[in-house]
Amino acid sequence: MEAHSLTLSGILDGNRILEIPFFQRAYVWAEPQWERFLDDMATVSSEKTPYFLGSIILKQQMTGTQRHGDIRTLIDGQQRLTTLCLFFKVLSLKINNSKLETIYRLRMTEQIAIKHNHNDEESFNKILNLTTLDNINTENKISAAYNFFKNNLDESIINYQTLLDNLQFVVIDLLLDEDEQKIFDTINSLGVKLTTAELLKNYFFNHDIELYEKNWKDIFETDSARKYWDIQISAGRVTRSLLELFFYSILQIKIQDPVLNLNSEDKKKYGKVEGLFDSYKEFIQKCNINRLDLIAEIKEYAQLFRDNFDVKIVKKELPANFCMERINAIIFGLENTTLIPYILFLLNNVKDQTKLEEIFNYLESYIIRRMICHENNRNYNQLFGDRFITQRLLDVASIRNYIDTQDDKINFMPSDASVMDSFHQSKLTNKQAAGILYLLETRIRPRQFHATAMLGMGSYTLEHILPKKWRNHWPALKTEAENANRDQKLLTLGNLTIITAVFNSSISDATWDIKKDGDGKNKGFSVYAADLATFSPYLSNKSWDEAAIETRASDLAKLAIAEWKV
């Protein structure tokens, strides 16, 4: 490779075409970057000092009878050069100076010197071919950048010749025989934040545009597809996109294939979300995976994933029957994303809907019972992502048998007695407690309130019936031991309910009568919980104390045991 220090006119020299590879991401700069860019251009114009804009990496392309001249692949620098072209276009229209058009056009043909890929080519060319400062609908980041510069670029403080003389780059030229794939990967490892999907796209397709358009573009890169795959969800202590979780799940399914016979060390290595692209590369090479077969599998799994995994389930009413919607609520509402690989594996292998719902029944019972009993879920990644898939557990009998015959005493199914005890004792997080009560409500409610619909899980908040700050308005007990016991009991499930509103603090800490009926200005449980099967029967209580909490805990436990059977 060769490195040079060049100005913008040295890069866009009027004879060279820069092609952005089809596998590169779309233009992604946004207002924070545009604001800083405008400030920098104003500073350079006034101070007339050199300004370094980073490195540009190009690769010489082979030219033949159909492709004459200097054509280079723009491997790194797309965002900056695109922004500069849009900036100078707006500036040229504002100062009515057509000479600036020559910055980004070829001398002989007046062709635009930067050839964008499919993501942005139409918008980029449309804007650079404008003859007046037209209004453009903001359809993507390219048009948004144009509109930003149109509205915010102050041409009176910009000296274009000073910019052309002082904007400097280090340009790295790769020779024909140098591997841009390695350079591309290295750039990413040094800090250019490319997603696993972008890296895999380049790795799988390289320059095979036809294969890419047939197996990838419509699945992952249409506007509707991006809107779905880019959704961010909580996965443990971090937030990841659905796309990242999808590719993680595919790899977990693949490495558990008994035909490949991977050892436990390799499975552990490839079982991490971090470094996912490197894991894919190593797995493919180690196991001699056929690229075309894997691409076809990914396409099939992607459609299955989109058809079944619904992050927005927390905004929708849940059916009472054990189904995929309820599994989605457990995954996304209660942050059990470790279930995803196994559920995707089930969806691909179990076509009988009755058998699938039997499995969902068991899985919901298993996870919710363990949550009620405050059992550790740190081993779920290994259980669902490894053992269930490796063992090919595809019916409820084999799943139950596997759980019941394990000797580790970690992944057990809690007994009815444990569930009963835990309703009286467990102190759960607000999200866990609200989720358990909501899922129980959606199971029993249809039998008692046929005409009224439930809101989605995310529409309910958790309320302590006996408030945490009960000492403010509730009578003190006789001894400190009794007070301490009350402090413990009020944290348990018998004292918690979901409601459709957030209580005002004057109601939340008030006495039972006021919390139940309101205070004239604010409504109470009689309005916000009147149609809840898990709480409305207790609105007739004349008082609320430890005995009432114990009674309700026992009642809820009996319902839970009946609904989430062993």
Rounded Cα distance, 103 and 87, in Å: 11
Residue 26: count other Cβ atoms within 10 Å of its Cβ: 17
Cα angle for residues 243, 246, 247 (degrees, 5° grid)? 90
pLDDT of 190 over the 50 cut: no
Q: What is the pLDDT of residue 562?
A: 96
By three-state DSSP, how is residue 289 classified?
coil
How many CA atoms lie less than 13 Å away from 463 in the CB half-sphere?
24
Task: Quickly state the pLDDT bin for 192 (edges 50, 70, 90).
Answer: very low
Closest to 148 measured CA to CA, from 79, 204, 87: 87
Cα dist from 440 to 336, 368, 443, whole Å: 18, 10, 5
Rounded Cα distance, 180 and 185, in Å: 8
pTM of the model: 0.77
Cα dist from 391 to 201, 249, 387, 399, whole Å: 31, 16, 6, 9
Closest to 26 measured CA to CA, from 230, 241, 299: 230
Residue 497: count other Cβ atoms within 10 Å of its Cβ: 26
Closest to 298 measured CA to CA, from 338, 264, 248: 248
pLDDT of 408 over the 80 cut: no
Task: Quickly state the pLDDT bin for 66 (edges 50, 70, 90).
Answer: very low
pLDDT of 473 over the 70 cut: yes
Q: What are phi and psi of 516, to 5 degrees?
A: -75, -45
Query: For 297-339, what is each residue's pLDDT tens digit?
Result: 999 999 999 999 999 999 998 998 999 999 999 999 999 999 9
Closest to 329 measured CA to CA, from 459, 143, 514, 199: 459
By three-state DSSP, how is residue 288 classified?
coil
Mean pLDDT of the chain: 89
Q: Which amino acid is at 380?
A: Y
How many CA atoms lie less than 13 Å away from 304 in the CB half-sphere?
21
Rounded Cα distance, 465 and 381, in Å: 35
Residue 245 · residue 343 · CB < 8 Å: no
Cα dist from 129 to 13, 21, 86, 126, whole Å: 19, 22, 11, 5
Q: Which amino acid is at 323?
A: C
Specify the residue for token string 């007990």: 477
Rounded Cα distance, 22 and 208, in Å: 9
Burial class of residue 459 (count of CB atoms within 10 Å of its CB; 0-12, 13-18, 19+): middle
Rounded Cα distance, 94 and 105, in Å: 19
Rounded Cα distance, 270 and 386, in Å: 11
Q: What is the pLDDT of residue 65?
A: 40
Beta-bridged to residue 56, according to DSSP, are 171
Q: Which amino acid is at 347?
A: L
Beta strand pairing call for 232-235 and 496-499: unpaired
User: What is the helix (H) or strand (E) element at residue 7, kind and residue range?
Assistant: strand 2-7
pLDDT of 448 over the 80 cut: no
Residue 447: count other Cβ atoms within 10 Å of its Cβ: 9
Specify the residue for token string 């569930």: 419
Task: Quickly state the pLDDT bin for 449 (edges 50, 70, 90).
Answer: low
Supply the DSSP symbol for 170. E
193 backbone φψ class: left, alpha, beta (φ>0; ψ -120 to 50): beta
Residue 290 tokens, joined: 């056929």
Query: For 229-285, what is each residue's pLDDT tens digit?
Result: 999 988 667 788 999 999 999 999 999 999 998 998 998 888 887 889 889 999 999
Could you please report the per-residue DSSP string of 399-419?
Answer: HHHHHHT-SSSSSPPPPHHHH
Residue 458: count other Cβ atoms within 10 Å of its Cβ: 16
By three-state DSSP, how is residue 504 classified?
coil
Long-range contacts of 183-189 (CB under 8 A, 24+ apart): 183/57, 183/59, 183/75, 184/75, 187/57, 187/75, 187/76, 188/277
By three-state DSSP, how is residue 257 classified?
coil
